[in-house]
Structures are given as structure tokens and as C-alpha cells.
A and B are shown apart, each in its own frame.
Chain A
Amino acid sequence: MRLKPSVLVLATAASLAGRVQAATHGYVQLTLTNGYNFSSLQLDWDGTLTNNTIYSTFATNVPDGTKIYLWDITNQVFTAPSVYSAASRTWSLNYTLPLGQGFVVQAAQPWTVTLVGNIPEGFLTNIVAGNNKLSLLSIMPPLGVDLTTRQFPETDGASLHLFRSTNQTYSDAFTYFTGYGWFDPNGVVNTNGPVIAITRAFFVRNPGPDRYWVQNFVVPLINSQGSGGSTGPNLRSLSLANDVASLRISNPKTVPYNIEFSTNFVNWTTVATHQTGSIWKEARPASARGFYRLESP
């Protein structure tokens, strides 16, 4: 059975303190198979990058018995799972799910949840634990790219494991060699390393010291009007219902703006022009993910 959460709530953008930029919002479908799914969040609930929780992400329309595990980097074990009870519509633990850190969803049946939120921008920092510890990580913005492109720290002898949900096993280790790049023993992946799919997490074992993984990401803005200035229009939130996508825009001086939509941050389509209102709606896009931004007409 494929569940569709009836209401997908997004941030009210209560505070922009600490935000790098508040210009772009989007949604991503997290497709889960029965069994273990090594997952991650790449959209931000409230602009802090750290306050996503199980409730804010998965809400309470979830298959009974679904479990979520975090990775305890200190003790190198998975935590006790948070278990969802359909009868009480509660999770046993409301774990925090920070961006860039993976978690494991154990599902009894395939289902899909649509995640909505701010797109993290700026210099996004993750820590890759050293001394042969395992870290469960993900790319922080919603991009499906290889590790070299995302400036993953280069540590000789680091090994990377992807968990294949389809057959519930790990890939062969990809090993990083200084002076070469990532080595795939099966000869399929090039030296840039494997492409990490959107919403997927991976394990990396780092034999060197702790490293910072700094990912610089900015959604390209042509006219930069939507970047959240004090007087210009500012995209505040996106919410998705079953058939409608709604944007809330702060625009106290009724400055005209266009709305653009993309599924990959590269190709943008103008979906509305010369808008001035504070709410804009369209039919919910059929794509598995999508991102909105404001531009000057």
C-alpha cells in the first residue's frame, strides 16, 4: 500500500535568525521500501538546520510498526529505534534529525512521504569522525551528485559503504586513495566516487583525524530579488496538499515578482509572472521533487 500523508505542513518560518538565505523552498519525495532504508533529510524545517524531528518530518500518518534508528557516533552503534504506533498515532521517541546526518527507516511495507522545507544554502558543515570511526552522513542540499563534486574531505584509506535497499545489502567498499581518488573494486564508478542519491545516507569509515566536510551551496538567482531583503518579496513557506502546492510570500510593498520552478536547480521554468500577492497556489507538481524561487519580472 502506498500511503500519501493527507496534509504536508511546512515551516511557518517563524524566525530567520541564523538563516543564510530564505529564498528557495521545495519538496522531495522520500521513497521507502520494506526493510531498511538509509535515509537523510535535505530540506530544513525551520531555518536552523538542526530542528527537524521525527514528528515534523514524518508526522503521524505512517505504517504501523515503522522504526527509525539513529547512528550513535560515540559508541558506534545504532540507537534504540523510535517505533510508530498507528493505534495511538505516536512515535515512541521524537528523535532530532539534523541535516547531513543519516538515519535508518525500517518499514514493514513500501511507502512514500513527501518532505517539504527550506533549501539549505551557504557553507554547510558536517563532521566526519576520524580514528577509524564510522559516520552515517549525507549530502546536505537536495542534490544527487558524487562526493568529489560535493567537496568531501580527502582522506587516504577512507572507505565508503552504500546500503542497497532493493537487496538489503551493502555495496562493496569504495576506497579513497590520495593521488588517485575513489576506487571502485567493481570498476563501475569513476574516481569522483559514487553518486549519492537525494535523501540517501552513506556510511564512511575515516582512518585519519576528524575532518570537517564543508559544502558550499547557493541556489542560483538571476535577479536576486527573492533573497529575502527587508522590503522585497520574500518566499516564506511552501505547503503541499494532495492536489495543491501553496506558497506564502511576504511582500509588504507589493513589489511584483515572478515564480520559478525547478526539479534540479539547473533548469528553471517560470510558472507565474507579475505576482504581488502573499499567497500563490498551483496544482501540485507531478515530479518526485521540486523547488521554488522568486525572481524579478
Chain B
Amino acid sequence: MRAFFKSSFRGFAASWWLIGALNAWAAPPGTVTFANNSSSKIINGLTGAAVTLSDNVQAALYWAPAGSSSFKQLGAAIRVGNPLSGLFAAGTRMTGSATAGGATAQFQVRAWGGGYPTFEQAQVDGSVLLGWSAILLVATGNPGAGPPMPPNSLIGLNTIVLTPGGLQWLTLVCASNKTAVCSTAWDFDEPAVIDTCTNSNVNVSILSTVTNGTCPQIITRTWEASDACNRTSTCFQTITVAMPPSSQIVNQVDGTLELVYTVDPGLTYQLQYKINLDQYPWTNLGNPVTATNATVMFNDSVGPDSQRFYRILLLPVSP
């Protein structure tokens, strides 16, 4: 009997040693790459534009084991907008130990503005921009496999629209104002809709179209959008229809080039130049000029460039 107990104790101790060893050799947690791409940008829902670094928006990766609703932030937050607007790339993140390498886990990207250190703190301030992705089920990479498997990507991540307090929001985004030539065909650009209402049916209608003049002609169209969450949003686009400015005189006087163009009074023009027609982009020469009569004159000093080429642009009106 005594021998039996002794033997059992040895077996018990050996079992504990084995369990301890197994714990020490437990598979490392899973890995995932915390990054997005052009099809999953982070968007400012108020402007419809992709978030830039100056928006001071941060994003963090949240993780929960499969079947759990308890999400935890993985690693530090990252500024959105680096390297390009709406984008971020923060390298590999490792899950908690509850997700072994290679296992599927839940991930969510949460983003916020206002400079708060965490998403939770930003939530308290109901006015800052907030947004989050759907919960993604992703099979993690397995650094403990033989050979090791690389981190997975956040497959299924879609665009995240940030709104004040993360509330449902409707934004109608019109295209930039533009110009057209008299007696040529042109049209307004259809506005884009950003809507976070659960029912995504949005009605977009033309509220008004206001026309002033003939040629030049200023036409402004205003649209209104309304959604099922009883939100409305308006925006407008203005088209400046005019004859293109034409060059009238080019003179050189004492080392200064005088360029005179025929224009429409009241419209605004920008002179540009380039040094090589094949290689250089056009560069603005001075500030835009609003014409006060039928001609406008620009001056340029003849400098060290062996040649310069000029053009004049009609700028769209901004009412």
C-alpha cells in the first residue's frame, strides 16, 4: 500500500510536469496584418473625402476570440492617412493567447477623431468623428507552425465612414465646379451619396437649377437627398459656360514679356507656364486674375530659362 501511494505520487508529479511543459510549449497566438487598401478606405462622412493626416483620425485593431463578445485592442492605434488619404498600414499584430496560431478569430477596425488616446474615450465625446468596421472572421497566421505561416490580411474589410458620434448620417457630395465652352454639349455630374442609415434607400432629387447670362453663363444646380432615417442633405455644382480666352498680343519690353488675352469681364483666369512641352507639368504663374474688361494682361520676366510656354485657364465660378 505504501509503495502504491509512492508510485501514484510520482505519476501525479510527472503529470504536472508534463502539463507545465505543454503550457511552456503552447502554440503561439495567431497573427494578422493591420492594414487596409483603396477599397477599404476610411472616409470622413461629413465631406465624403478620404481621411487625411491633418484630420487627426486614429484607427485601432480590436480582437475577440471566436464566440466571444469581449473585444480587446491589439497594440497601439495608428494615424490614418499615411501613406495616402484614407489608408493605414501598421504591420503585424498578435492576438491574445485565447486564439492559437492558425485559428479563426474576430477582428474589428475602429477609428476616431479628436485626438483621444482610445476609441472608448472618444465615444464619451459625442461630437467627434467615429466609425467601425463590421466584425471580420479571419483565420490567423501561425508563427508556430512548421514551417511558420505568415499573418493573414483583414479580408472582408470594407470602407469605414466616420460620422459625429458614430451616429447614422447622410451626406450628399457634389462634384467640383467646372467650366464648359459655349455652344458645346455638357452636363452636370451626378452627386455621390454617403449614408449610414440601416435602410440604405436614399432619394436624390433636383431642388433647383438657376441660370444667369447667356455666354458667359453661370448655372448652379442644387440637389437634395433624403433617407429612411429622416435625414436630409443638400449640395450644389456650378458650371461656368464661356468662350475660351484667346491670345491677343505677346510683346517683350525691356526683358518683360507682356501677354494679352481676350476674356469675359467678371470671370477669373489663371496664367500657367512650362519650360519643356514634353516633360514639365504646367505651373501657375502668379495668382488668379478676375477680368474687369474684355482683355487681361499678364507680365513675366524673361529669366534664365531658354524657353517658356504659356497658357491661360478659365477658372470655374464659386458662388
Contacts and interface: CB of A to CB of B under 8 A. Distances in A.
Contacts of B146: 36, 106
Contacts of B148: 36, 163, 168-170
A157 interface: yes
A178 interface: yes
Contacts of B38: 156-157, 177-178
A286 to B, nearest CB: 32
Contacts of A185: 35, 89-91
B83 A183 contact: yes
Interface string A109-147: 000000000000000000000001010000000000000
B91 A132 contact: no
Contacts of A72: none
B136 to A, nearest CB: 12
A177 B87 CA distance: 9
A175 B84 CA distance: 12
Given A157-B37, A170-B92, A170-B143, A177 B83 contact: yes
B153 interface: yes
B33 interface: yes
B280 to A, nearest CB: 21
B271 to A, nearest CB: 29
Given A156-B39, A179-B84, A183-B89, A173 B151 contact: yes
B92 A173 contact: yes
B155 interface: yes
Interface string B73-105: 000000000011001011110000000000000
B147 interface: yes
Mostly helix, strand, loop or mixed at chain A's interface? strand
Nearest to B91: A172
B216 interface: no
B158 to A, nearest CB: 12
Contacts of A134: 150
Contacts of A159: 33, 35, 153
A185 B143 CA distance: 19
Nearest to A191: B83
A169 B39 contact: no
Nearest to B78: A185
Contacts of B33: 159, 172-173, 175
Nearest to A134: B150
Contacts of B89: 173, 175, 177, 183, 185
Contacts of A172: 33, 91-92
Contact of B153 (A132, A177, A179): A132
Contacts of B91: 172-173, 185-186
A106 B83 contact: no
Nearest to A178: B38
B37 A161 contact: no
Interface residues of A, number: 29
A175 B35 contact: yes
Contacts of A173: 33, 35, 89, 91-92, 150-151, 153
A198 B43 CA distance: 41
B142 to A, nearest CB: 11
A169 B143 contact: yes
Contacts of B141: 170
| Interface core residue of B141, B143, B150 (most chain A CB under 10 Å) | B150
A178 B86 CA distance: 13
B103 to A, nearest CB: 15
A180 B147 contact: no
B294 to A, nearest CB: 42
Interface in A20-73: 36, 38, 69
A157 to B, nearest CB: 3
Interface string B139-167: 00101001110111101000000000000
B275 to A, nearest CB: 26
A115 to B, nearest CB: 21
Interface string B158-190: 000000000000000000000000000000000
Nearest to B143: A169
A207 interface: yes
A173 to B, nearest CB: 4
B150 A78 contact: no
Interface in A202-227: 203, 205, 207
A8 interface: no
B39 to A, nearest CB: 7
B84 A104 contact: no
A78 B146 CA distance: 9
A104 B147 contact: yes
Interface in A150-187: 156-157, 159, 161, 163, 168-170, 172-173, 175, 177-180, 183, 185-186
Given A177-B38, A207-B153, A207-B155, 9 more contacts: A36-B147, A132-B153, A132-B155, A157-B36, A157-B153, A178-B38, A183-B89, A185-B35, A185-B90
Question: Which 10 A-B residue pairings sit nearest by Cβ, starting from the closest?
Answer: A157-B37, A172-B91, A185-B91, A161-B150, A173-B33, A175-B89, A104-B147, A156-B38, A180-B83, A36-B147
6 contacts: A134-B150, A157-B35, A157-B36, A173-B153, A175-B33, A205-B152
